[in-house]
Amino acid sequence: MYFIYNILLSITSILLSPLILFALLREEKYRMGLSQKLGFLPPHLLLKLSGSRPVWIHAVSVGEVTAAIPLIQEIKKRYPSQKIILSTVTVTGNYTATIRVREVDAVIYFPLDYPFIVKKVIRQIKPKLFIILETELWPNILRELKRNNIPSVVVSGRISNRSYHKYRWGRFFFSKVLDSIHVFCMQTEVDTRRIINIGADKDRVTTVGNLKFDQCVPTVTTEEKENLYNMLRLKAGQTIFIAGSTHKGEENIVLEVFKNLKNTYEDLILMLAPRHPERFDEVADLLSHQKLRSIKKTEIKVGQALNHNDIILLDTIGELSKLYSIGTIIFVGGSLVSTGGHNVLEPVAHKKAVIFGPHMDNFSEISRCLRESGGGLQVDNQEEFLSQAEMLLQNDADRAKLGEKAFEVIAHNQGAINKSMEAIERFL
């Protein structure tokens, strides 16, 4: 089966090579980290890891990197001399890992899953343990790790509806892939049943909860909030509508909701934060086309007069989590379009009620808990979105109560770190 997988991988690569080359030439994000993805790790990094057998943690993008932080901190706390290498797939994930995860010894891009590449990378890193955040199943690297007697552990594992059907269809092959993994620490009982149904040995599977409930969101003091207002050239206590991690197709809905709210709440400011940096200019063009008064965050200058624009386009990376602390109403994107949603716990950690759409497959358990608490407001369309936003703006006390209820969800669901460490410590 691995032979067939690699043949299909090679054929697909050849057929798509013109598109891949075009993408590499056109988009810088595809070129970033390319040498590392092809197995050429920087000499200074290899020198830093020389003589050690690091723990290799893999987190695909920003959400997984953020969730990995408390796990990395706990490993370092218990094993101070243990070196850790963190890999990501996306540019934003790599950037977030570089600036936010100080405890790791190196950050790299994950290698492409070709046999000759993964063999080279594993030979260079010589990891003691490979930890996968959520469920990134790359057949060749998992197989090669097993061949080298290097244990693999899935932490905060989940299987979405879409992935479940795909894996079930290829169960004969994926059961062999899963056999290369030593322990599965799954988020929920549903995830546990699904991974077993796909072919994992039930004796290797345990339910531990979601690491995202244990993530550390920095506390923002009153003074820091004032600094945020000053940075944005806004009045202290300004009414702010934050739409975070939006995708194509969502900005138009957000803008229509904002326009309607603006008729009643004249001082309302919209902070719009597209999920992907390559869309910053696209969204700026959309705002310009609609003749909306807007400014990019990077264009706001220190000492400038108070901002008289209605919309601030957040065209930076790594600031959104802290900015949620000054939001009056919060919407988290990737949920009104079918992309699976994004991390709604970042605003909740600041005791904010949060609005999200129906497409929360990647955060199904979290969104369910928030809905049941009353602090998570799921909307199916623009009309429901506007109604919930108006409700939050109408009563400060009720909005604060909903934020408290949402925050309680985090407190009631923490503990995945310690349960996951029980599995990890077997190999350390």
Where residue 171 falls among pLDDT bands split at 50, 70, 90? confident
DSSP class per residue in 108-177: EEPPPS-HHHHHHHHHHH--SEEEEES----HHHHHHHHHTT--EEEEEE---HHHHHHHHHTHHHHHHH
Q: Report in angstroms the alpha-carbon separations of 243 from 96, 218, 330, 342, 409.
A: 20, 20, 6, 12, 22
Q: Which tens digits make up the pLDDT trace of 405-424?
A: 999 999 889 899 999 999 99
Q: Which tens digits make up the pLDDT trace of 102-116?
A: 899 999 999 999 999
Three-state secondary-structure class, residue 399: helix
Q: Is the pLDDT of residue 386 over 70?
A: yes
Amino acid 239: pLDDT: 95
What average pLDDT does range 176-184 have in this prediction? 95
Q: How far apart are CA 191 and CA 185, in angstroms?
A: 10
Q: Is the pLDDT of residue 32 over 90?
A: no
Share of the chain above pLDDT 70, in %: 99
Write out the two tokens for 127.
């990891």
Q: Is the pLDDT of residue 214 over 90?
A: no
What average pLDDT does range 301-330 have in this prediction? 88
Query: Looking at beta carbons, which pairs linking 345-348 to residues 24 or more positions away fall under 8 Å?
Result: 345/212, 345/213, 345/215, 345/217, 345/410, 346/66, 346/217, 346/244, 346/320, 346/321, 347/242, 347/244, 348/375, 348/376, 348/403, 348/406, 348/407, 348/409, 348/410
Amino acid 202: pLDDT: 95
Three-state secondary-structure class, residue 29: helix
Token look-up 């992907």 returns 276
Is the separation of the CB atoms in 91 and 33 below 8 Å?
yes
Write out the two tokens for 78.
């218990």
Amino acid 74: pLDDT: 95
Is the separation of the CB atoms in 335 and 359 below 8 Å?
yes
Q: Please provide the average confidence, as pLDDT, over all residues in the chain.
A: 92
Amino acid 290: pLDDT: 94
Where residue 169 falls among pLDDT bands split at 50, 70, 90? confident
Q: Is the pLDDT of residue 151 over 70?
A: yes
Q: Is the pLDDT of residue 17 over 90?
A: no
Q: Which residues make Cβ contacts (< 8 Å) with residue 34, sequence separation at least 6? A: 24
What average pLDDT does range 318-324 have in this prediction? 92
What average pLDDT does range 146-156 have in this prediction? 96
Amino acid 216: pLDDT: 65
Specify whether 64 is catalytic. Answer: yes
**Range of lowest pLDDT (6-20, 79-93, 136-150, 228-242):** 6-20
396-412 vs 364-373: helix crossing angle, rounded to 10: 130
Q: What are the structural domain ranges in the chain?
A: 27-210+414-427, 222-412
What average pLDDT does range 300-311 have in this prediction? 79
Q: How far apart are CA 340 and CA 383, in angstroms?
A: 21
Q: Is the pLDDT of residue 218 over 80?
A: no
Q: How far apart are CA 161 and CA 194, in angstroms?
A: 9
Amino acid 303: pLDDT: 66
Q: Which helix (H) or strand (E) holds 95?
A: helix 91-100
Where residue 147 falls among pLDDT bands split at 50, 70, 90? very high
Is the separation of the CB atoms in 207 and 409 below 8 Å?
no
This prediction has a pTM of 0.85
Starting from the edge strand earliest in sequence, which strands make up the sheet with 376-378, in order? 294-296, 311-313, 269-274, 240-246, 329-332, 354-356, 376-378
Using CB atoms within 10 A of its CB, is residue 119 exposed (0-12), middle (13-18) or buried (19+)? middle
- Using alpha carbons, select from 109, 160, 164 the residue that is nearest to residue 339: 160
Q: What is the CA radius of gyration of the chain?
A: 22
Q: Do domains 27-210+414-427 and 222-412 have the same CATH topology?
A: yes
Using CB atoms within 10 A of its CB, is residue 264 exposed (0-12), middle (13-18) or buried (19+)? exposed
Sign of CA dihedral 12, 15, 17, 22: negative
Amino acid 130: pLDDT: 98
Q: Is the pLDDT of residue 25 over 90?
A: no
Q: Is the pLDDT of residue 98 over 70?
A: yes
Topology of the domain comprising 27-210+414-427: Rossmann fold (3.40.50)
Other CB atoms closer than 10 Å to residue 419's CB: what's the count?
15
Is the separation of the CB atoms in 332 and 244 below 8 Å?
yes
Using CB atoms within 10 A of its CB, is residue 3 exposed (0-12), middle (13-18) or buried (19+)? exposed
Q: Is the pLDDT of residue 257 over 80?
A: yes
Just give the CATH number of 222-412.
3.40.50.2000
Catalytic residue among 27, 64, 256, 408: 64
Amino acid 217: pLDDT: 64
Q: How far apart are CA 345 and CA 244, in angstroms?
A: 12
Q: Is the pLDDT of residue 313 over 70?
A: yes
